[in-house]
Structure 1
Amino acid sequence: MKRITYFIYALILAATAGCDLDQGPYGSSIVSDEFYTTDEQCNGATQVAYRYINYSSWWEILNWRYLAGEASSDNGWIGNTYQPHPTYDAAAHYTIDAANDRNEAQWINLYKSIGRFNSTMEGISKAPIADASKRQYIAELKFLRAWCYFDLVRNWGGVPLVLQVLSPDKHPGRNTVQEVYAHILNDLNESAGILPKKSAYPAAERFRASRGAALTLMAKISLYMEDWAKAETYAQTVITEAEYDLEPEFSALWQYTYRNGQESIFEIMNGSSQVPALPYNEFAVMLNSPGDAGWGYYSITSDLENAYKSEGDSTRLQWTINRHGLPVAGDPNATSFDGRPFPAQAHSKSARFSRKHYVPKSQRPSNGRSALNDKILRFADVLLMHAEACAMQQKSGPALTSLRRVRDRVDLETDMGLTGWALINAVRKERRLELAYEGDRLYDIRRWKDANGVPVINGLFGPNGTFVKYNTETSTDPFETTNNTEAQNKGINYDPDIHSLWPIPASQILLSEGSVKQNPGYF
């Protein structure tokens, strides 16, 4: 009997030296000769793999989704001002270095997940099961791996492509950005031709990767590559196949009980009563007000609130931001723990918190373990990707059609005469309003360029950035301007020659024996 022990080698790139799968619910060693012998085992191993898109640890992976994606943008602050958190502040305020532990944890855990998927694919590929089942399970795992590589490449640029189980003495260097994207798209294209449509899954299995999920991620990646024609094609395919639709009401998406509804393309399942489940969603606590027993991290900027107000967008404002002293959408009687109006200013930079991560008090589990799902891909995003791809090709008609579908849901008029940069900027603003606090904002402002070809983020941050000037010269917000425990000039340290990517963790460069090189400007 052959027993092979699973482990993560120091660089984390190989992720496994064997094929012990640790596939039990709490981590159990599996004897390789006794596993991957039946369809049931292969199916179970594939389903359990879904928990490792976050490597079963909310802290390292999902934490970065909001630390980088929102708090390092013009949407958010670190927010919590009653605890020291220097490595968080360093990311959000652009003083980050290669020793940053949050940055390091994200890199390490993404490669752990990739190693897990590679190991599981190897086992399934050798299993004596029907070819059709084998192809589907591997296609699902390739989708999960593609998502992890997408997160890696948009955070750090070119990264090592590890596509099989490696031994600890292997130290692959960085592939180029183009090589990483090409491989992701190749895997997703294969998966899209194999995976079932969402509607073909039983209701209890609609968390699984579908054809639509693969096509949606291909559309998103094509936007990052500025391949507008392919982004349009992939997004249009998802629209035309009609597997998904907008929920009639924006509020429906943010109900505690929402699970894989008609707008959902891919969600991370949370809650001990679901399979496959992470233990629970900590962000219902982490992003909630300290006045409601939350931790107060990643509070929302007045700048984002102003964006909703300037558009007359009361629906999405209420369902995106819980604001001090105002009723909570869907929980109008909510008060702070001491009876003050919710969410109660208490040790917070802005007293604005994410409604998208809020659980009404009457629905909170008695053990405090939230089962709120994380929405990763949804149909409104597809419509806005389609609108952006068309606008960038000066196809105003189809761009406006998709843009209007999103705005109609929240009763906002759409100027159907928009063209050129007016249309492009309207689509970009709509992405901010629709998708705020879902983890995309930083990556959007990094990839977008203005009419002069300059990244949009360069105009927001730095000493002359409009977001910095708003906070330091214009804003009279009573919370932000009076609580300088977190610096009001967030973003002033941004350097466009450095901060378009995060630093490769110093520990991983060292452990790679020099095969992995640092991004420019970091030491």
Structure 2
Amino acid sequence: MKRSAYILLLAVALGSCKKSFLDQDPYGGTIQSSTYYSTLDEARSATLATYAYIDYNDWWQTQWWRQVSGEAASDNEWMGLNGGQPTAVQATHYTLNPENDRLEAQWIMIYKSIYQFNATIEGVQKAPIDETAKQQLLGELKFLRAFSYFDLVRNWGGVPLITKTLGPKDNTYERASAKEVYDFVRQDLNSAIGVLPNKAQYSSTDKFRVSKGAAQALLAKVDLYTENWAEAQTVAAQVINGGDYTLETAFGDIWKGSNFNGKESIFEIQYQYLTQYPNLGNIFPVASMAGTEGGWGYFTPTSDLENAYRDQGDSIRLNWTIMRHNFPVVGDPANPSFNANPAQSKSARFNRKIYIPRGERTPNNRYSKDHIYLRLADVYLMHAEASAMLQQSGPALASLEKVRSRVNLPTDHTLTGWALIRAVRNERRLELALEGDRLYDIRRWKDEGGQPVINSIFGPNGSFVKYNTQVSKDPYETTNLNEPQDKGAKFRAGTHNLWPIPTKEIIASEGRIKQNPGYN
């Protein structure tokens, strides 16, 4: 059973997901904009309670969407289990329509969370408490709000920018531009950086809380998304050189179930297993595991991803990222020959990073395994990417080598220009596969002609589509056609680079929120 005060607050009840994002009661009704915190303990408890809302504690709605939008809609994963769950298949195969229920649930849940962050910020600001302590709490809350707006803007582009508590009748919101949203995220993160402690300054029971390094790492990622290369390089270097984090010695140590908030971890979403709260826990070890191991069989890695590891001779990360039928599961001696049940699996491959060894499983399949959202290897690769885009091959190669040397891979120090950029991008895929970044990376990256990289991967002539339909001889993917082999063929450049705004939100706004291009 896990630690920390706020995890126990994950049992806060959630409201319905059937209304407009402003037409909602706050979660559990426990945090109101008029709340007056008279003591530091009250303000601190309210702040810790809000951590629960970054992942909404909702098994059946939004946790699922996080994996769909980050990985299953990319070239890293199939939907899996013979293409079940039709609303998720729409996203992964690019047939998504604005009425999709999971899409709407994700939008609403994020805005409900932002309501909580805004309300708690307002309450803490008014509290008659020590100013230094107050500013730290506000820094944590502003990071969480920035986290949520970053999620919104990279999925939908410009969105309504709501920075204070509003009532259901405040129906005057419209979309801010993507630049305005990114600028606000940057503003919140810079404010947080100025007041948050380093991770080392937290007690062992508070390691889950937002640190200065977490705000810096997220800011560096925001700068990558906005192609602010010089700032991304500078901020990433500050995290690397700050001394708060070090790479795990072995890549597999990152994924050990007992390694909570480890030395490489910068920020991770916490989960708790408690028998009295059956909906708590991390959904991915269940949803992303074979039925033979007590899972649901969704989100299965592609042979295209496996080939990327093989092309590099990268056996360490291959084995810790992809479990394959009839192969031993690395790190679990109790599973010497993994049974993927190929008849019920698109690719007969599953995600090792979220796998729970047999000896560590709980009776109700609700697991405490955290989701690592930011870690030091990611920051090294942010630094490498920003440096490569600035045509500074020396710093780029030094950071690239840090990541590759851990898995015993050499680094070609003659790389420059676009060859170096492609090498760094490929390294992000290998290092961070199935962790939730792949779709967003291929959307934001531009090729040598200035076009989004995703445009050449998907579409009827996309490289991933051609591989699967014309080249692949994979014995599982090419025979299990209940999930169509031409995944991504329906992708349309200029439309599917963002998700559609949910139709109900457009209606509720009386037309002030406009749909993304191509979805009307």
Query: Under a length normalisation based on structure 2, what TM-score does the superposition of the two structures give?
Result: 0.93
Deviation at 1:515, TM superposition (A): 1.2
Contact 1:14 1:115 in 2 (8 A): no
Tell me the residue number matched to 2:456: 459
Check 1:30–1:341 CA distance in 2 against 1; reply closer, same or farther (3 A cut). Answer: closer
Contact 2:31 2:46 in 1 (8 A): no
The percentage of aligned residue pairs carrying the same residue is 52
Q: Distance in 2 between matches of 1:467 and 1:310?
A: 16
Q: Distance in 1 between matches of 2:280 and 2:363?
A: 15
Alignment partner of 2:420 out of 414, 418, 423: 423
Residue type of the partner of 1:358? Y
Aligned CA-pair RMSD:
2.1
Residue type of the partner of 1:11? S
Tell me the residue number matched to 1:266: 267
Deviation at 1:64, TM superposition (A): 1.6
Residue type of the partner of 2:395? P
Tell me the residue number matched to 1:488: 485
Tell me which moved more, 234-243 or 375-384.
234-243
| Superposition pairs of residues 40-119 of structure 1, within 5 angstroms | 40-81=41-82, 84-119=84-119
Structure 2 portions without partners, runs of 5+: 1-13
Check 1:94–1:30 CA distance in 2 against 1; reply closer, same or farther (3 A cut). Answer: closer
Tell me the residue number matched to 1:3: none
Tell me the residue number matched to 1:313: 314
Contact 1:73 1:442 in 2 (8 A): yes
Contact 1:290 1:346 in 2 (8 A): no
SS at match of 1:517: coil
1:115-159 C-alpha deviation (Å, 9 max, x unpaired) = 111111111111121111111111101100100100100000000
Residue type of the partner of 1:291? T
| Superposition pairs of residues 104-503 of structure 1, within 5 angstroms | 104-171=104-171, 172-272=173-273, 279-334=280-335, 341-503=338-500
Q: Distance in 1 between matches of 2:134 and 2:431?
A: 38
Contact 2:88 2:102 in 1 (8 A): yes
Deviation at 1:29, TM superposition (A): 4.7
Deviation at 1:28, TM superposition (A): 6.3
Q: Distance in 2 between matches of 1:262 and 1:394?
A: 31
Contact 1:271 1:278 in 2 (8 A): no
Contact 2:459 2:492 in 1 (8 A): yes
Query: Under a length normalisation based on structure 1, what TM-score does the superposition of the two structures give?
Result: 0.93
Q: Distance in 1 between matches of 2:466 and 2:84?
A: 26
Deviation at 1:312, TM superposition (A): 0.3
Report how many aligned residue pairs link the two structures. Answer: 504
Structure 1 portions without partners, runs of 5+: 1-5
Alignment partner of 1:12 out of 5, 21, 28: 21
Tell me which moved more, 213-222 or 132-141.
132-141
Residue type of the partner of 1:245? T
Q: Distance in 2 between matches of 1:425 and 1:29?
A: 49
Contact 2:98 2:502 in 1 (8 A): yes
Deviation at 1:34, TM superposition (A): 7.8
Contact 2:35 2:123 in 1 (8 A): no
Contact 2:274 2:280 in 1 (8 A): no
Contact 1:15 1:111 in 2 (8 A): no
SS at match of 1:353: strand
Contact 1:15 1:114 in 2 (8 A): no
1:202-236 C-alpha deviation (Å, 9 max, x unpaired) = 01101111100111011000000011001001101
Contact 1:15 1:116 in 2 (8 A): no
Tell me the residue number matched to 2:6: none
Residue type of the partner of 1:324? H
Deviation at 1:353, TM superposition (A): 0.6
Q: Distance in 2 between matches of 1:489 and 1:32?
A: 49
Question: Is 1:513 the counterpart of 2:519 in the alignment?
Answer: no
